[in-house]
Homo-oligomer: A and B are copies of this chain.
């Protein structure tokens, strides 16, 4: 049992190292040796868990569809916004998530591994379908189309936030907050709209509620 636990931790360490290297160098340029050096594990340990660089990339992508930190809420629309905001909060802090996005955006890596966009669209469409059944949505809203747009907009906003200089430290979460402020009035019925919280500091508050030990960490990595 302790051995299983250790193997699981090693696997996670290797994936995180792969995330850092893919994020810094891109998939093509990344080498197993760099990942070994970063993970500080033996070549044998790495090949016990992953058979190749391709396999590592798939492992990184599999970690990326995550709703960690999202708690059940009165409104499904709040859970949807929380999912987006939490990811925006985590992305500058977690190389694994950045690497997964970078693999999705890279045309060559995308051909090899596909992307997680269809899974993200499904996550959003399911929340919106439930929101619709509960009467939270304006009648014209199509859950699937709306989710596909949200996933696309989120991805593009992230790319631009990386590139275009911002005065704010935590640019991405502010941009995603703004995105919801712009979109929700045309998605939510007014009574629900008035009670949704899409403030940029919401993810930090959610994380503090779930992981009190990590809430007090210093400056965000992306600052």
User: Which residue numbers of A lie inside 8 Å of B, CB to CB?
Assistant: 26, 28-29, 102, 105-108, 110, 115, 117-118, 121, 145-146, 148-149, 151-161, 163-164, 175, 178-179, 182-183, 185-187
Known: A182-B186, A185-B185, A186-B185. A118 touches B159 (CB 8 A): no
Tell me, rounded to whole Å, the shortest Cβ–Cβ distance linking A65 to chain B.
15
Q: Copies of this chain, how many? A: 2
Which of A29, A110, A149, A164: most chain B Cβ within 10 A?
A149
Interfacial chain B residues near A185, Cβ < 8 Å: 185-186
| 7 examples of A-B residue contacts, CB within 8 angstroms | A29-B108, A118-B164, A146-B182, A149-B178, A149-B182, A153-B156, A155-B156
Interfacial chain B residues near A108, Cβ < 8 Å: 26, 29
Main secondary structure of the interface of A (DSSP, over half): helix
**A105–B159 touching, CB < 8 Å:** yes
Interfacial chain B residues near A156, Cβ < 8 Å: 151-159
Known: A153-B153, A157-B156. A107 touches B102 (CB 8 A): yes
Tell me, rounded to whole Å, the shortest Cβ–Cβ distance linking A144 to chain B.
10
| Partner of A149 from B102, B107, B145, B157 at Cβ < 8 Å | B157
| Partner of A115 from B118, B152, B163, B187 at Cβ < 8 Å | B163
